[in-house]
A and B are shown apart, each in its own frame.
Chain A
Amino acid sequence: EDKVVQSPLSLVVHEGDTVTLNCSYEVTNFRSLLWYKQEKKAPTFLFMLTSSGIEKKSGRLSSILDKKELFSILNITATQTGDSAVYLCAVHIQGAQKLVFGQGTRLTINP
């Protein structure tokens, strides 16, 4: 069974801290890994990773994939209260028309 596991499930930090969110996966036929941010409404796309070791970056957010060890991390530096959200990791299976999601990490940034 295809499986995506995120950790931690919940994280509370102070504004300005750096956080690392983890996503590990066990799937039959990996194609890509995606990160989404979900505030109160629809999840919004952050990154798609297909190649191992290549960092994707957008402002204070960055992500990297390790296809050998089957995991990805999402880093957020100099966190702000607006970063508070649920962060979702999903894996796209080769040949399938769907994504398999992890449980999500609820990140809370306190001022």
Chain B
Amino acid sequence: DVKVTQSSRYLVKRTGEKVFLECVQDMDHENMFWYRQDPGLGLRLIYFSYDVKMKEKGDIPEGYSVSREKKERFSLILESASTNQTSMYLCASSVGTTRYTFGSGTRLTVV
């Protein structure tokens, strides 16, 4: 089975800190995605990447950046964390255009 691994399950960071969320997949998938999940809002796409060093903005990219230096790894960066970025962050990968495989999520709290 494809595995998508997110490095941290829970994180607590201070306002203004630079935060790195890491995601690694082990099945050579071209596409990788970062979503945030908030109650009542569902999953909202932050950024996605369809190849190494390629990235596309999703629906809510403000305050975030991403890095994809290797095919298996897609990092989400919060340049200066703020309390409104407290959320569950989900990484996913796919080959082709559908049927994502999700990671277990990182619950980030910014205090």
Residues of A participating in the B interface, judged by any CB pair closer than 8 Å: 4, 6, 9, 31-32, 34, 36, 41-45, 48, 88, 90, 92, 96-104
Chain B interface residue count, Cβ-Cβ cutoff 8 angstroms? 24
Task: Give the docked Cα–Cα distance between A19 and B60 (Å).
Answer: 33
CB within 8 Å: A-B pair count: 56
Whether B56 is near chain A, meaning CB under 8 Å from some CB there, is yes
Whether B90 is near chain A, meaning CB under 8 Å from some CB there, is yes
Contact A42 B104 (CB under 8 A): yes
What are the residues of chain A within 8 A of B43 when measuring CB–CB? 88, 90, 101, 104
Task: Give the docked Cα–Cα distance between A85 and B94 (Å).
Answer: 23
Task: Give the docked Cα–Cα distance between A103 and B35 (Å).
Answer: 13
* B109 CB → nearest A CB, Å: 17
